[in-house]
């Protein structure tokens, strides 16, 4: 959480006073409806669907695209495990591809992993870094594939001036506690495609043949799940949305200062970012020549009392730690397990994305903050410079 205050508490109080916490209450125009319209507008797309999580947003998008058994979805080896689990939830197989130095999906590697079964490419804007969407969308177009942007860590970001989430056929956002704006747990799917929207709308509400807004939908009913958003969380999100630009501005300001102060330090360079202006700037990534140098830097910073991390240590954000995937346990029941039903042996291994492991291990993250004083920021910069200029001792 970056910012929250009395305004959110007041918005919640108003919902409680209304005694209407459920979004579908006959009349339209509640907080969930309003948030969807505002989020769609912010993202520059026609349709927004508020749901209970970012994971749900990805599942709804895949269901909206009619992805299912027999299909493959390409995901990067560096992302929260939810990205890889979403295809399984709709019966499809996740295929893991490399990230490049930008720590986002490598379009060239994606091309290598396309098979006749591939249906969707799922670029992930990790740590708010915009993916190379131009190249990824070109690859997708060339092969007749769809693009689902996982923008769960990139609320409010953009690429080439166009909002993240609006480049692909659909986008998924998360508003859990750790994201740029938050309501504790929540998410949103966005799309310009009316068919994707309608199927997702139905899927997220048990197949919704019975809501007033669904009556005009001519898609035959099908069994869905319940990922409905409620009015309490929607009211919080509407206030959070008014803070988003301020949060991004503060993060980007810190990142600009960090970059200008650390520019030219020879121990590392900055991991390339495909669009610095659209970058959410939650993180500055420093790329070292070797993983040993990154390790030595982390250890020396720790000795100075500054705890930084490397994305190689980020647990379930890294495919080698996705036990569920690597062991191919695709469902709660073998009769629903895409790995058992697909009829071929999905070629996973811990070394299927060696470059991903290398780039992550060579990277050190500095997180930005909205409430750090300039004095604290300058002290951090001073320590980084001091440590970076100290020759690495042999281990």
Ligand X SMILES: *Cc1c(COP(=O)(O)O)cnc(C)c1O
Query: Rule CB under 6 A: which residues touch ligand X?
Result: 53-55, 79-80, 82-83, 124, 150, 152-153, 174, 176, 187
Compute the least distance from the CB of residue 222 to ligand X, in Å. 23
What secondary structure, in 3-state letters, does 165-210 show? CCCCCEEEEECCCCCCCCCCCCEEEEECCHHHHHHHHHHCECCCCC
Indicate the residue among 118 and 176 with the shorter CB distance to ligand X. Answer: 176
Cα separation values, 309 from 180, 255, 361, 393, Å: 19, 17, 10, 20
Compute the least distance from the CB of residue 129 to ligand X, in Å. 11
End-to-end CA distance of the chain: 38
Indicate the residue among 122 and 262 with the shorter CB distance to ligand X. Answer: 122
* Among 244, 197, 192, CA closest to 44: 192
Compute the least distance from the CB of residue 3 to ligand X, in Å. 18
Q: Please give the residue whose beta carbon sits closest to ligand X in the complex.
A: 54
Indicate the residue among 124 and 164 with the shorter CB distance to ligand X. Answer: 124
**Residue 290: how many other CB atoms lie within 10 Å:** 12
Question: In this structure, are residues 265 and 388 in contact, taking their beta carbons and an 8 Å threshold?
Answer: yes
Cα separation values, 384 from 172, 177, 293, 394, Å: 35, 29, 14, 19
Pairing of strands 47-51, 118-121: unpaired
Indicate the residue among 301 and 325 with the shorter CB distance to ligand X. Answer: 325
Q: How remote is the C-alpha of 318 from its chain's centroid?
A: 14
Q: Cα separation of 103 and 372, whole Å?
A: 26
Indicate the residue among 31 and 84 with the shorter CB distance to ligand X. Answer: 84
Indicate the residue among 54 and 338 with the shorter CB distance to ligand X. Answer: 54
Compute the least distance from the CB of residue 104 to ligand X, in Å. 11
Q: Cα separation of 204 and 49, whole Å?
A: 9
Indicate the residue among 107 and 171 with the shorter CB distance to ligand X. Answer: 171
Compute the least distance from the CB of residue 210 to ligand X, in Å. 27
Compute the least distance from the CB of residue 80 to ligand X, in Å. 4
Compute the least distance from the CB of residue 84 to ligand X, in Å. 9
Compute the least distance from the CB of residue 302 to ligand X, in Å. 26
C-alpha angle 6-25-57 in degrees, rounded to nearest 5:
70
Indicate the residue among 230 and 262 with the shorter CB distance to ligand X. Answer: 230
Residue 174 token pair? 């998360």
């Amino acid at each position: 959480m970056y910012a929250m205050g009395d305004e959110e508490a007041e918005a919640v109080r108003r919902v409680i006073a209304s005694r209407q916490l459920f979004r579908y209450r006959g009349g339209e125009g509640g907080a969930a409806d309003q948030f969807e319209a505002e989020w769609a507008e912010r993202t520059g797309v026609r349709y927004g669907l508020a749901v209970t999580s970012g994971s749900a947003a990805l599942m709804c998008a895949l269901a909206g695209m009619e992805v299912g058994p027999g299909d493959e979805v390409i995901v990067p080896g560096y992302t929260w495990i939810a990205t890889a689990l979403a295809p399984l939830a709709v019966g499809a197989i996740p295929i893991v591809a490399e990230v490049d130095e930008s720590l986002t999906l490598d379009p060239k590697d994606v091309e290598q992993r396309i098979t006749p079964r591939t249906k969707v490419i799922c670029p992930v804007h990790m740590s708010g870094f915009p993916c190379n969407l131009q190249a990824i969308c070109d690859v997708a177009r060339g092969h007749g594939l769809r693009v689902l942007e996982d923008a769960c860590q990139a609320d409010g970001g953009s690429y080439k001036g166009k909002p993240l989430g609006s480049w692909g056929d659909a986008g998924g956002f998360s508003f859990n506690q750790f994201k740029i704006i938050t309501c504790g747990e929540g998410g949103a799917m966005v799309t310009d495609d009316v068919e994707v929207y309608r199927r997702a709308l139905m899927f997220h509400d048990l197949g919704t043949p019975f809501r007033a807004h669904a009556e005009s939908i001519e898609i035959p009913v099908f069994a869905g799940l319940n990922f409905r958003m409620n009015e309490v969380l929607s009211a919080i999100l509407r206030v959070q949305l008014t803070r988003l630009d301020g949060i991004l501005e503060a993060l980007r300001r810190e990142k600009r200062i960090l970059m200008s102060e650390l520019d030219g330090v020879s121990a590392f360079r900055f991991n390339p970012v495909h669009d610095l202006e659209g970058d959410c700037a939650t993180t500055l990534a420093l790329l070292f020549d070797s993983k040993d140098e990154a390790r030595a830097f982390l250890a020396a910073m720790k000795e100075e009392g500054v705890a930084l991390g490397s994305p190689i240590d980020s647990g379930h954000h890294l495919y080698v730690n996705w036990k569920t995937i690597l062991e191919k346990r695709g469902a709660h029941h073998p009769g629903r397990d895409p790995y058992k039903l697909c009829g071929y042996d999905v070629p996973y291994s811990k070394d299927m994305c060696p470059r991903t492991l290398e780039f992550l291990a060579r990277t050190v993250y500095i997180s930005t903050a909205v409430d750090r004083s300039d004095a604290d920021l300058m002290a951090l910069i001073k320590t980084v410079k001091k440590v970076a200029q100290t020759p690495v001792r042999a281990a």
